[in-house]
Structure 1
Amino acid sequence: MGTPINFETVLRTEGKEKRIDSKENIFQLQLQGYHLFPLHQPIEITRTKETDEIGTAIIVELTLKEKQTFCTYQLISLSSVN
């Protein structure tokens, strides 16, 4: 039996991100299921599938365990404060 995995090119936060370093704008996001993102490359961030881009981030670390993905990213630009 295979393991379902999603290959992502946009980071959708659903407002569940947690800031872990305010000086460096580092955030962590926990996602259900397994998701792969490009590492160390700028990618678009949105809150939901229906909303516009809110900024750009670089994924610095991905951990896949227990049917969850833990994504650590650095926010490098912000399009909107809301």
Structure 2
Amino acid sequence: MATPLSMEWILITNGKEQRLNDEDNLFEIVFEGYRIFPLNEKLEIKRTLKSEQLGAGIIEELTFKNHFTYCKYRLVSLHSVN
């Protein structure tokens, strides 16, 4: 049986991200399925696919487990506080 996999270039959070560390702006988000993001590259962060860009982040760690992707990223710029 094939394992579905998608390559992503925009980090879409749908408001499900969790802050791991206040001082370092480190966040984690869990996606259903397996998603690959470029590591150590600045990516757009959006709340939804059609929303404006919230900021930019750098993916620091991806973990695949039981059909979920655990993604840790560092927020490097924020366009708005809302």
TM-score, normalization by structure 1: 0.98
Q: Which residue of 1 aligns with 2:78?
A: 78
Give ranges in structure 1 of 5+ residues lacking alignment: none
TM-score, normalization by structure 2: 0.98
Paired with 1:11 and 1:64, the residues of 2 have a C-alpha distance of 16
Q: Which residue of 2 aligns with 1:5?
A: 5
- After superposition, residues 8-27 of structure 1 pair within 5 angstroms as 8-27=8-27
List structure 1 segments (4+ residues) > 6 angstroms apart after TM superposition. none
Give ranges in structure 2 of 5+ residues lacking alignment: none
Q: CA RMSD in A?
A: 0.5
- After superposition, residues 40-59 of structure 1 pair within 5 angstroms as 40-59=40-59
Percent identity over paired residues: 45
